Amino acid sequence: MYSIQNGQSVLVVWGSTPAPETFQNMIEKLRKLTGPLGNVRVENVDRLTMGSHPTSSFDIVLSGVIFPQSISHTTELLGELLRVVKPKGRIILQEVTVQNANGTHLKTAEKLQSVLRITGLTNIQEATLVSLTNAEIQTLKDLLNIAVNVNVVEIQCQKPDFEVGSSSKLSFAKQSPQVQPSVNVAAVWKLDDTVDDDIETIDENNLLDEEDLKKPDPASLRVCGTTGKRKACKNCSCGLAEELAAEGKPAAAPPAQTKTSACGNCYLGDAFRCASCPYLGMPAFKPGEKIQLTDQQLKADV
């Protein structure tokens, strides 16, 4: 029966509740074949993922082989079966198929084989018809709520001799020779004098004559008081303000500062104001005029 040997681990997946006698007879036959060293586990298809079976823990998986064969082998279900079966382990399944899948949720035998290939299974055998009585076929049609003619096919396939997602080194891969750094790598950063000796260059010592090298007289650099009346400039830095203070002459008082904004153009009107100016929308005003802004105007727009 399915070439099951002594000591193997077998997983039986069933869908709709089978007849107790049929179910019990199948399990007893499997346990006799596996012997005391083997293991037979039974799982309902809806609770398969809840069983938390370890990866690669079964030699053979029997899915939907107990009447009624109501399991639809989707890529998700096949992926879980592929996970729990050992490498080179076998998956034997039975499923209800139709000749033409138009208008039904059932697959054709060719479509079922295609799904097995997409899942990653190998050594997929041709689908064989399972012999059923007319009463059993009618039971399946009533259970699946379909009116078209159906068949039950059995397909055997195998998991590849490696785990899903594993990798291996290719034997024919050539190792790239290690490239030694060039001895002239340091020369890349070497700076060479590329100036042609035939090109005439300007002597920097001839750029200034003796007059340019003379230290100027501080008095000749004074600007304040050279245009008439001696009067210190605003923020005088030439020393005239100190001289006038020493002579007892009061220095001119600096002019009153005009209140300006950051850009200095706010008082001119909206045409001269920035986009974020708090004075936008207000009429022009005189420089230094006190303007009262509301709290809302002081908040910057976001």
- The answer to whether position 172 is within a domain reads no
- The answer to whether position 205 is within a domain reads no
pLDDT in tens, 34-58: 999 999 999 999 888 888 889 999 9
Could you tell me if 139 and 262 lie in one domain? no
- For residues 165 and 131, what is the distance between their CA atoms, to the nearest angstrom? 38
Q: Count Cβ neighbours within 10 Å for each residue of 184-198 and write b for 16 or more, e otherwise.
A: eeeeeeeeeeeeeee
pLDDT in tens, 155-188: 999 999 887 677 777 777 677 777 776 666 666 6
Could you tell me if 150 and 13 lie in one domain? yes
- The answer to whether position 207 is within a domain reads no
Annotated ligand binding at 238? The verdict is yes
Domain boundary among 158, 176, 192: 158
Is 240's pLDDT higher than 70?
yes
86: amino acid identity, one letter: K
Domain boundary among 158, 190, 208: 158
- The answer to whether position 206 is within a domain reads no
Q: Which residue has the higher pLDDT, 60 or 230?
A: 60
Is 260's pLDDT higher than 50?
no
Q: Phi and psi for 109 in degrees, rounded to 5?
A: -65, -35
Q: Phi and psi for 129 in degrees, rounded to 5?
A: -75, 140
State the DSSP H helix or E strand holding residue 93, giving kind and residue range, or none if neither: strand 85-97
Name the percent of the chain lying above pLDDT 70. 75
Residue for token pair 């059993």: 136
Q: What is the mean pLDDT of residues 246-254?
A: 62
Could you tell me if 154 and 241 lie in one domain? no
Could you tell me if 40 and 154 lie in one domain? yes
| Claim: this prediction has a pTM higher than 0.75 | no
Annotated ligand binding at 236? The verdict is yes
- The answer to whether position 167 is within a domain reads no
In the three-class reduction of DSSP (H, G, I as helix; E, B as strand; rest coil), residue 289 is classed as coil
Could you tell me if 150 and 18 lie in one domain? yes
pLDDT in tens, 124-134: 999 999 999 99
Could you tell me if 238 and 280 lie in one domain? no
Round the average pLDDT of the chain to a whole number and report it: 81
Annotated ligand binding at 157? The verdict is no
- The answer to whether position 179 is within a domain reads no
Could you tell me if 107 and 238 lie in one domain? no
Annotated ligand binding at 277? The verdict is yes
State the DSSP H helix or E strand holding residue 116, giving kind and residue range, or none if neither: helix 109-119
Q: Which residue has the higher pLDDT, 144 or 283?
A: 144
Write the CA distances from 40 to 5, 11, 64, 111, 207, integer angstroms.
12, 6, 15, 30, 103
9-14 sheet: strands from edge to edge: 39-44, 9-14, 58-63, 85-97, 151-158, 128-129
- State the CATH number of the domain containing residue 73: 3.40.50.150
Domain boundary among 114, 142, 158: 158
- The answer to whether position 198 is within a domain reads no
Domain count, the chain: 3
Could you tell me if 57 and 145 lie in one domain? yes
Is 13's pLDDT higher than 80?
yes
- The answer to whether position 283 is within a domain reads yes
Q: What is the mean pLDDT of residues 231-260?
A: 67
Range of the domain at 272: 256-291
Under a CB-based contact definition with an 8 Å cutoff, are residues 85 and 56 in contact? yes
Could you tell me if 99 and 84 lie in one domain? yes
Angle (CA) 258 244 247, round 5°: 145
Could you tell me if 236 and 126 lie in one domain? no
Could you tell me if 146 and 242 lie in one domain? no
**Cis omega (within 30 of 0) on the bond before 36?**
no
pLDDT in tens, 101-111: 787 889 999 99
Token couple for 95:
């499923």
Could you tell me if 241 and 287 lie in one domain? no
Instruction: Give, to the nearest 10 degrees, the angle between helix 109-119 and helix 75-84.
Output: 50
